[in-house]
Amino acid sequence: MTNAPHRPRRSCLYMPASNARALEKAKTLPADTIIFDLEDAVAPDAKEVAREQACAALQSGEYGERELVVRINAMDTPWFAQDLKQACFSQADAVLVPKILSAQDIIEITDFMEDQDASLDTQLWAMIEMPQAILNLGEIAALGPQKRLTSFVMGFNDLAKEMRADHDHAIFAPVMVQAVIAARAYGLNIIDSVYNDFNDPDGLTTACLEAKKLGFDGKSLIHPAQIETANRSFAPHADEIAEARAIIAAFKDSINAGKGVIVVDGKMTELLHLKQAKQLVATAEAIAALES
């Protein structure tokens, strides 16, 4: 499942890797992706313990089909080199690097990974949370999978702090559009930022549905109580799946053979809609496989 196309990333749960109880609990939580955090959620004195616990957890083989990611400390910190070195051999599916500023950062990280002989299966994910990264979205995304870069993860708590902006994430709608465009231009996945109020399921549902509408694959989460909402919100709905299957069936019908545009359920339907329909069904099937 790990590198399969359409792999679900509806729910990407952060957990402080210093918190042994959370590490244990995550083995049974229905999050598509687990992000072992060594950065913001870990106090300076706990950095080494968190790194050791994260690596042991990643190598344990006890997290089933969940995608496993480790968020290391930023490049300008004293922990970065050792974090990345150990992450390269941790069997993580991806290393998530915070505070990325430019394409040059990605190149330096990838070169470091090559020097370590990191497995080619270990991908690089970039946090988009600095004003410089927003200005450089296109050049960062353009490096793409040939530099191991496969996902953007938005970080609006840090971006708000850097901008001295309000913490109301609704103000970031234009940035979200730009980031999705940059990611999709180069075939990257993209995960929305966190919703801080984990006791507000209605607010979280609204945030998830807005992100889904913009094209995001899923949402970063901070608490187990948020997982079901994200999984439900980002999964294709039954009526969307039925509509997609109807489009696929209509194009297969011999009376539509060779046609580029047909009418399905009263609506103009072109080959681009067929492609979209196939993608949606593949996503729904990947979710069903993960949940079975």
Residues of this chain that interact with Mg ion (CB under 5 A) are: 40, 158
Residue 86's alpha-carbon distances to 120, 146, 149, in angstroms, are 15, 22, 19
Q: How far is the CB of 171 from ligand COA (least distance, A)?
A: 18
Q: How far is the CB of 94 from ligand COA (least distance, A)?
A: 16
Burial of 267 (0-12, 13-18, 19+ CB in 10 A): exposed
Number of Cβ within a 10 Å radius of residue 40: 16
54 binds ligand COA (CB under 6 A): no
The angle, 0 to 180 degrees and rounded to 10, between the axes of the packed helices 201-214 and 227-234 is 30
The dihedral sign for the CA sequence 54, 59, 60, 66: positive
Tokens standing for residue 200:
């507000």
Asked if 78 contacts 70 with a C-beta cutoff of 8 angstroms, the reply is: no
Query: What does 128 bind: ligand COA, Mg ion, none (CB cut-off 5 to 8 Å by kind)?
Result: none
Nearer to Mg ion (CB atom), residue 193 or residue 269: 193
The binding track of 192-231 with respect to ligand COA, each residue x by CB under 6 A or -, is --x---------------------------xxx-------
Query: What does 158 bind: Mg ion, ligand COA, none (CB cut-off 5 to 8 Å by kind)?
Result: Mg ion
Q: How far is the CB of 257 from ligand COA (least distance, A)?
A: 52
Angle at 287 (CA atoms; ends 173, 2), nearest 5 degrees = 90
Sorted by sequence, the CB contacts under 8 Å of residue 263 that are 6+ apart come out as: 269
**Identity of residue 259:** K
Q: How far is the CB of 51 from ligand COA (least distance, A)?
A: 15
Number of Cβ within a 10 Å radius of residue 238: 9
Query: What does 16 bind: ligand COA, Mg ion, none (CB cut-off 5 to 8 Å by kind)?
Result: ligand COA
Please give, one letter per residue, the 3-state secondary structure of 175-226: HHHHHHHHHHHCCCEEEECCCCCCCCHHHHHHHHHHHHHHCCCEEEECCHHH
Chain positions 27 to 46 lying near ligand COA, rule: CB under 6 A, are 37, 40-41
Q: How far is the CB of 153 from Mg ion (least distance, A)?
A: 10
Q: Which of 7, 8, 15, 156 binds ligand COA (CB under 6 A)?
A: 15
3-state SS class at 115: helix
The binding track of 157-196 with respect to ligand COA, each residue x by CB under 6 A or -, is -------------------------------------x--
Asked if 193 contacts 156 with a C-beta cutoff of 8 angstroms, the reply is: yes
Nearer to ligand COA (CB atom), residue 87 or residue 250: 87
Query: What does 167 bind: ligand COA, Mg ion, none (CB cut-off 5 to 8 Å by kind)?
Result: none
Nearer to ligand COA (CB atom), residue 63 or residue 80: 63
Residues that bind ligand COA (CB under 6 A): 13-16, 21-22, 25-26, 37, 40-41, 194, 222-224
